Amino acid sequence: MMNNSIKQLTLKITLRFSPILLTTLQLTLMLTLMMITLPSFAVAADNANEIADTASTTDITNTKVIQSYSSGQVASSTSSASQEQVLKDIRQRVLLGDSDQEKNKALNTTRENMITQKHLQARKSSTTKNMTKSLRLNQTSRSFSDGTFVIYEGYSQLIEDLDADGYFQTFSVTFDADLITGNPHDEAVVYAELYLSENGGPWVHYYSTDSFVIHGESSDDEFEVYSTLEQGFNANYYDVLIDIYEEGYPNIVASYSSDDSNSLYALPLESSDYDLEYIEYYSEVHTDGGSSSVIALIIMMIALSIRQFKFKG
């Protein structure tokens, strides 16, 4: 009985509305359902991609244990520590086992995976309500649409080689990121991702800096990163790459690498498990002075006796 009533009501509504209006209503209903279900599909796809990326990352990190200890700071800041103090702090962290990997500062994954992860995180952090805003954010590489981010200069310094074999366990990378706009007083908050490439291999992430402020084209905001490679780095030649990101944006705004400066090309590096301190041992023979005097006296007496014997004969 109830079903017959529903059918009759539906028939009455259908007869009252024109086919064009019914088609419009159907399309509207379909679009509404799509808007409701699409975000769920997008989240599921993102999760699937994230699992795949995690698996590929795990394949890289499981090949060998990698440990490093780094410290970054604005070089010219009034609060900047001296090189000696920075290296002392790094040695203390080595003793404590407070590695970059433990602090989630070194992810030991490829550059391609890092870029993918940043876009996934930016998309995942958004909700259905601000999906349009999120899409706009992913398509925008920076906040200064009328400006350009560049790395004016980048260079390295080789610091510690304990076994004197020409391969260093401690080194530093310094770079000057600039913001070029019509206003020299413009500022931006940025951070850097640093990578190493062993003998022309893939770029592998080894450090994420904290966020810092760059002031137009000023050279007073140079940033330096000191690193000690503790484990898992073969004695080989390594290139360096620096990617700059503006805080809050998932896209790279500037890059600088061994293609731009020879100072970042083919750095002779090795981790400290290959850089054991060389200690040379000497074996010395000491002769007692008193014994030498007695022997010399005996020889002189024998020579004198022989001489007297010949004189008497």
**CB 283, CB 226: distance < 8 Å:** no
pLDDT band, very low/low/confident/very high, at 275 (cuts 50, 70, 90): confident
Phi, then psi, of 37 in degrees rounded to 5: -90, -25
In 3D space, the residue among 92, 99, 84 whose CA is nearest the CA of residue 159 turns out to be: 84
Is the pLDDT at 218 greater than 80, yes or no? yes
Query: Across 3-7, 119-123, 237-241, which has the greatest mean pLDDT?
Result: 237-241
In 3D space, the residue among 267, 295, 255, 271 whose CA is nearest the CA of residue 108 turns out to be: 271
Q: Which residues on adjacent β-strands are paired with residue 74? A: 223
pLDDT band, very low/low/confident/very high, at 247 (cuts 50, 70, 90): very high
By mean pLDDT, which of 89-93, 133-137, 243-247 is the weakest?
Answer: 133-137
Please provide the average confidence, as pLDDT, over all residues in the chain.
79
pLDDT value at residue 299: 65
Is the pLDDT at 7 greater than 90, yes or no? no
By mean pLDDT, which of 37-46, 86-95, 235-244, 292-301 is the weakest?
Answer: 37-46
Crossing angle for the helix pair 111-124 and 19-61, nearest 10 degrees? 140
pLDDT band, very low/low/confident/very high, at 41 (cuts 50, 70, 90): very low
pLDDT in tens, 249-272: 999 999 999 999 999 999 999 999
pLDDT band, very low/low/confident/very high, at 100 (cuts 50, 70, 90): very high
The first and second tokens of residue 292, run together, are: 């030498």
By mean pLDDT, which of 107-116, 118-127, 129-138, 236-245 is the weakest?
Answer: 129-138
